[in-house]
Each structure stands twice: as C-alpha cells, then as structure tokens.
Amino acid sequence: MSFLHLAIFLPFLMAMLIPIFYRWTNQLHTGWIVLPIPVILFIYFLTFIPQTMQGVVTETMPWIPSLGINFTVVVDGLSLLFALLITGIGSLVTFYSIFYLGKKKERLNNFYAFLFIFMTAMLGVVLSDNLVVLYLFWEMTSISSFLLIGYWYHRERSRYGARKSLLITVFGGLMLLGGILLLHVITGSFSLREIIGEASVVQASSLFIPAMILILLGAFTKSAQVPFHVWLPDAMEAPTPVSAYLHSATMVKAGLYLVARFTPLFAVSGVWFWTISLVGIVTLFWGSITATKKQDLKAILAYSTISQLGMIMTLLGVGAAALHFDSWSDDIYIGALVAAVFHLFNHATFKGSLFMMVGIVDHETGTRDIKRLGGLMRIMPITATIAFIGTFAMAGLPPFNGFLSKEMFFQSMVDVTTLNLFNADTWGILLPVIAWVGSIFTFVYSMIIFFKTFGGKLKPHLLPKKPHEAPLGLLLPPLILSALVVITGLFPNLIAKPLLEPAVKSIMPSLYGTDYHVHISFWHGFTMALLMTFGVIILGILLYKTANWWRPFIKEKVPRFFQWGKAYDNSMYYMEQGSYRFTLWIMTGWLRTYLNYMLMAFIILMLGTIFATDALNFDISTISRVTMMDYVLALVIVVTLVGVVFSKSRITSIILLGAMGYTISIFFIVARAPDLALTQLVIETISVVLYLLVFYHLPQFSNIEEKPKWLSVKTLISFGVGLVVFLISLSAYDTTFYDSISQYYIDNTYTKAAGKNIVNVILVDFRGFDTLFETVVLAVASIGIFGMIKLRLARREKNENK
C-alpha cells in the first residue's frame, strides 16, 4: 500500500480510533485531536500540484485481480482540485465545529467519526480509477451523510431528512452500478481510463445510451438536480458544519465530478449534451425562484445550492461540445468547461463561508428566521462582512470571484446559440434566456440573505437570545474562505495555471501535450455577458424592492405538478400503505402458509429453469437396473407416506416418518454408500426423538372430522413439488452444463488431504471453512436460545417474588 492509498484511509482510521481518544480526553474537545489529520492531508495534496501540471500520478494496489478489480489511485488535475477542497474545507469545518458544538451537550465522538468516514468516502470517489471501487466509496458517502444528517436523531425532522437523502441517493447509486456493469459488459474492464481509451467501442455499442442514462441518474441524484433535488433542503436539519461541508463543497459536487469524468466517453452524443444542459438549466431556474420564497436562512442557502449546482451542470453539458473540435485554439466552447471548474471552486468558497455565517447567526441569536432578524450589522460587524462578501459573490458582483465565473457562464450560454451542433443554433436560444432569468432571482435571494439579516432595524424582542459578535474560533474559518473569495476575484490567475488548467485537461485529455493555457481576465469589454449582468442588477434590485407584491404569487400559485416535495411525500405514503396492506395479506402468522409460498416459488423457478435451459432429459437408457429390492423399498416408502398424510395422531405420524427415513437409509446400503446410510440413521433417530419431545407438549388434533379436499391448493402444491423433483432427478442425471469437479477430488483427496474417504475429506478439509462457519452459526444460535431461556426464567422468578 502506497502512502497515497494510506492518505485516503487515514481519516477512516482516525474515525475508528476516536472512541478510544474520546475516553482519554475528558477535558479536551475531540476536534483538537482530529484536526491535524485533514490539515496534514491538505498539505500533502498540495505537493501534487507540480506533478499534475505536467501529467498524471498513478498508484495501484491489487485487490481482486481475478475479477479485474484493483485499487488504482489516479491524481490528475480534476481529482486533485476535489481532494484539496475535501481536505481544505474539511480542515476549516473541523476547526469550526470545535467552537460550534459544545462538548457537554453533543456526542462528539459520533460526530467526528461520521465526519471523517465521509472524508475518506469522498477522497475515494475522486481518486479511484476502478469503477467498482469508486462505487463502493460512492455508497459510503450516502451512508455517512445519512448518519451526519440524522446526527440529532431525537428530532423528527432530522430523521426524516436523513431517510429522504438516503433513499434518493442510494437509488441513484444503484443506477450508477447498473451503468458501470453495462460499461464492463461492453469493454470487459472496470478501469475508467481503459474504458475511456476504448471510447469508440463503447460509442458503437447498443448499450451506449442505457449506460449513459444510468450514470446520469446517479450523478443527478447526488448533485440534487431536478426532480431529485428534494432531499437537499431537508438535509439542512443537519448541524451547520455538516451543511457547510457536505452540501456546499463536497458531497453534492460528487455528481458534477462524475459528469466531468465521463464527458470524454459520452460527449459525442446529443443526448448527453441536451440532457445535462436542460436538467442543469431547469435546476438553476427552479432553485433560484424557490429560494426567494423561503424564510429560513438555511433553507434559502439550500435552494441556492441547488441553483448553483444546476449552473455548473449546465456548463458541463454545454462544454461537452468542446470535444467535437480538433483544435482548441478555434474552440470557444471550451470556455464552458473552464467556467464550470472555476465556479466549482468559487462556489465552495463563498457558499462554505455563507453556511458558516448562518451557523454563527443561529448560534448567537437563537434563530434563522429572516422575519425575526434584522439590524445585526452594528452588533455583528465581522459576521456581516463575511455575509456581504459571500452574498455579493453569489450574486455575481465585482470584485469577487463569483462575478468572473458568472460572466464566463453568461458568455458560454451566448456562445451556444452559435454552435452548429445538436441543433443548438435553434433550440439553444432557450439556454441564455433561462440562465439570465434564473440569475436575476439569484441576485434577489442573495440580497434577501444579506439585507434581511443585517440591514434594517434590530428586533431584540423577537430574538430568543441577546445577539453579540461570535468568538474568533467561529469567525476564523469563514474569514479564510471570504479572503479566498476576494483574492481569487482580484487575482484569478493565481489558481488558473496550477489548479484550473490541469482540471480542464483532465476533462479533455486531448489537451495534454498542447500549449493550451487557462487565462482569466477581469475585463473583456462591453460584451453581451456584461449587458446581461447589468440587466440582472437592475431587474434584481427592482424585484427585491417589490418582493412583497410578487412573492405571495410564487408561494401560492405553484402548480401541483411542480410541488416536488409533496410528490415525494405522497409516493412514500402510498408505498408504505401498499406495503403494509400487502404484508397483512401475505403475513398470516401461520407457518404452513409461508411454507406454501416457498414451495410455489420452488416450483415456478425450477420449472422455468428446466425449460429455459433445455435441461429436460428423459434418457434412462444408461441408468442402473431396478431390482426387486428397489420395488419393495419404494412400496414401503409410499405406504408410510400415505400413512403420514392420513394419520389422525401425531405420534403415529412421527413413527411413520421415522420408518420412511430408515427405509431410505436401506436404499443407501443397497447402493453401497454406508457413510450416507449411517448419517441418515443418526439424523432420523435424533429427529424422531426431538419430534416426540416437542409434540408431546402440543394439543391433540381437533376431533372435528374434515372431508378431504382432493383438489385443494395444498394438494396441487404437493403434486407440483413431487413432479419438479422427479424432473430434476431425471434431468440432472444426463444433463451437464459444466465439467464435473468430482475428478479433482478423486485426484487430490489423498495427496493433499491425506485421507481416503472422499466425503469426509471434502467436509473437513476442502470445505473446512464452510463446516467451521456452520458450527459457529449453531454455537451463536445456541447462545441466543440459552440467553432467552435465562431471561424468561429470571422474569418468572421476579414475578413469583412479587
């Protein structure tokens, strides 16, 4: 294992050790103990910048080579950018949590354990080349985020949000797994780089579109794209540090990472271009409008995150056109990919600071309701400064970094209308129009966050706590992020060459080896993008001033079709009711009913398999000769079987059942299988004794005589099982799909296991672990039964003492 592999698992290892450290450090906040881990990892990943500017770093650790599954880690520009965000913002969130979460009130060991498990999961997603490994980490992010969202599990809304996020993201994960398996069917490989290397083979396959759709479903659910966005607002029930980490900088961007990674493979298709672009632009539009009607600051930020994710998704969709050009120098559409990567970084900085700002406001005033807030600028000037920088950057105003990436976004949308590809020169006019309208509402909700919280008059009588400025520990992390917002806004080329350029080359491998460079300018002249910005500011101010007139319309006049949250709740309700009623119908409480279900499934599956595989074979010419002894034994078995069915006494039935078993053992003796005969005799003897002990305590059969129903369901099932077993016996005798393994045991039983009894050697040596685990299962079951008996006796003794 290389240090690069260890870097991925280091947070997970720390998460396993946190319970131990938590017991040893009663006076020290757990955050101080775990904080060095993300800081060290951030510094470590910084050292890769010179290498990713030149190429790609790869480390491979064998895992399941026989299945083509190896833990291959790839560090290129895109994965490094994500790794730096994961560890850098992870360090700030850990530091912020030390002051946000009280040691006495919170279960800190659980919180930091869940947080660091999530950190490992995200690092695994962005650094894994093998798609099976990536999928395992992908699902790990869903599970760890479920634990973090439901951290305050005593709150009903927290449990609801955690369950909602898990259901939707795990559904997307299963879709992603289906896409991965289809790609493996096409290429025979799980390596992402190898699959992209065989892009022509994938693109020529009939499974190309199904694989694309499945992978996009995985990306859309994780990155909260319409209509799968409904989980993100409810995930805001998590503690603010979780929201600042998962829902602004890391987890929700995993879907964006997936789309960027698969762009070289699927970008040739117009389905890819239009699906991503339209889903992204609708998400941008819907998220920005919905954010303006919310009253809770975290709810506004939740929908603003959905909107911003839609913006980046749109840029990735439009940027797919760049792969259709041979020369980058004449390709204006590569600017969409640059804008996507740039805004991904910018959004992480200003949205992370805004979430922390909201946490400070909630922490120091006791509320996030903008109806109660206002006038906090004079009381909390530093927090107000953080909010000013973050909201104005999100609104796309200079001199902050959000202005630059927003201008690049507008320019990319305008350029789409000139694209002579995928009918973008006609239908593409929708993209800049919707983008512009969505950006106007982005400006509005940004102004709502700042001015409704820090402007206006103070309302101390509506605040649960007396407001005051936060301590330095809470202010420092958002101040660092705010400083990055300003610095990258004024000097964007500080990150252009070391971070953005390698990331774009990772999305477009054809750029490696060229003299392509990313250069971001603050001024491009009076362009259409700048005019669109002026329009956003003018109309945004107008809408903000007249919000009381039009916001009620948005709140009340939304068609039912677009009420995604209610649609989810209704679907869950009907599913629960349906499953409840189905369960009541199926689960009768009678074991014989469940046995009927199992036997019917056996009949259907076995008959289906026999006929589907053409395994039905009635060739009996090679079977052994049937002797008179065989007929006699078969007659005895039939007679005892009839006796068991029609017996009115349990004792008689048990005795006849034992006689049937003993007769079968005679069959084994005749067939020269004494070991099997001995085993059968022992089992039958034990079974008869146990049956007699158990049935002795049961009530007698009812005296009411019932007429036999020869055509009942039970009769049909009985004949069906007998027929299926008969057909299987005949078919299995002369039907072989694979080479027999019996010769292997014959050749190796004595040489490898030093035994002559093949059956015994198989059970003890070749299948030793199987036998061992069966013994363990029996031991665990025995311990459980013993514990239940002890508890029952103790309860009885307690009741008698009363």
Instruction: Please give the average per-residue pLDDT across 351-357, as a whole number.
Output: 94
Amino acid 802: pLDDT: 65
Q: Are residues 692 and 629 in the same domain?
A: yes
Identify the CA nearest to 29 among candidates 86, 88, 152, 112: 112
Weakest mean pLDDT among 214-223, 236-245, 756-765: 756-765
Instruction: Please give the average per-residue pLDDT across 280-300, as a whole number.
Output: 92
Amino acid 389: pLDDT: 96
Number of domains in the chain: 2
Amino acid 689: pLDDT: 87
Structure tokens at 228: 């799968």
Instruction: Please give the average per-residue pLDDT across 92-110, as a whole number.
Output: 85
Q: Which of 679, 697, 715 is the last residue of a domain?
A: 697
Of 640 and 589, the one with more pLDDT: 640
Q: What is the pLDDT of residues 402-430, one digit of tens each?
A: 999 999 999 999 988 888 777 777 788 88
Whether 290 maps to a domain, the answer reads no
Whether 507 maps to a domain, the answer reads no
Whether 145 maps to a domain, the answer reads no
Reported as a pLDDT band with limits 50, 70 and 90, residue 553 is confident
Amino acid 278: pLDDT: 94
Instruction: Please give the average per-residue pLDDT across 642-654, as a whole number.
Output: 83
Q: What is the pLDDT of residues 144-170, one digit of tens each?
A: 999 999 998 888 889 999 999 999 999
C-alpha dihedral (634, 640, 646, 652), degrees to nearest 10 = -170
C-alpha dihedral (486, 489, 490, 494), degrees to nearest 10 = 100
CB 80 within 8 A of CB 44: no
Amino acid 327: pLDDT: 52
Instruction: Please give the average per-residue pLDDT across 635-654, as a whole number.
Output: 85
Amino acid 798: pLDDT: 77
Kindly state the percentage of the chain with pLDDT values over 90.
50
Q: What is the pLDDT of residues 499-532, one digit of tens each?
A: 999 999 999 887 777 778 888 888 777 888 899 9
Of 796 and 383, the one with more pLDDT: 383
Reported as a pLDDT band with limits 50, 70 and 90, residue 330 is very low
Task: Quote the DSSP letter at residue 380.
Answer: S
CA distance 370 to 771: 65
Q: What is the pLDDT of residues 74-98, one digit of tens each?
A: 999 999 999 999 999 999 999 999 9
Q: What is the pLDDT of residues 303-323, one digit of tens each?
A: 999 999 999 999 999 988 877
Range of the domain at 767: 748-802
Q: Which of 672, 697, 722 is the last residue of a domain?
A: 697
CA distance 158 to 151: 7
Residue 300 has pLDDT above 70, yes or no: yes
Amino acid 103: pLDDT: 67
Instruction: Please give the average per-residue pLDDT across 758-762, as a whole number.
Output: 83
Weakest mean pLDDT among 103-112, 151-160, 477-486, 548-557: 548-557
Amino acid 547: pLDDT: 83
Amino acid 734: pLDDT: 67
Residue 351 has pLDDT above 80, yes or no: yes
Structure tokens at 243: 């929201």
Residue 709 has pLDDT above 60, yes or no: no
Of 62-66, 344-348, 771-775, the range with the highest mean pLDDT is 344-348
CA end-to-end distance (rounded Å), the chain: 63
Structure tokens at 794: 């103790």
Whether 667 maps to a domain, the answer reads yes
Q: Which of 697, 732, 756 is the last residue of a domain?
A: 697
Amino acid 704: pLDDT: 44
Residue 766 has pLDDT above 50, yes or no: yes
Q: What is the pTM of this model?
A: 0.81
Q: Are residues 690 and 752 in the same domain?
A: no
Amino acid 84: pLDDT: 96
Reported as a pLDDT band with limits 50, 70 and 90, residue 559 is low
CA distance 305 to 299: 10
Q: Are residues 753 and 692 in the same domain?
A: no
Residue 444 has pLDDT above 90, yes or no: yes
Amino acid 101: pLDDT: 87
Reported as a pLDDT band with limits 50, 70 and 90, residue 275 is very high
Residue 479 has pLDDT above 90, yes or no: yes
What are the percentages of helix, strand and coil residues in the chain, rounded to 5? Answer: 75, 0, 25
Of 771 and 486, the one with more pLDDT: 486
CB 530 within 8 A of CB 398: no
Residue 710 has pLDDT above 60, yes or no: no
The mean pLDDT of the chain is 87
Whether 671 maps to a domain, the answer reads yes
Whether 657 maps to a domain, the answer reads yes
Residues in Cβ contact with 700 at an 8 Å cutoff, skipping those fewer than 6 apart? 650
Whether 765 maps to a domain, the answer reads yes
Whether 672 maps to a domain, the answer reads yes
Structure tokens at 588: 């009768």
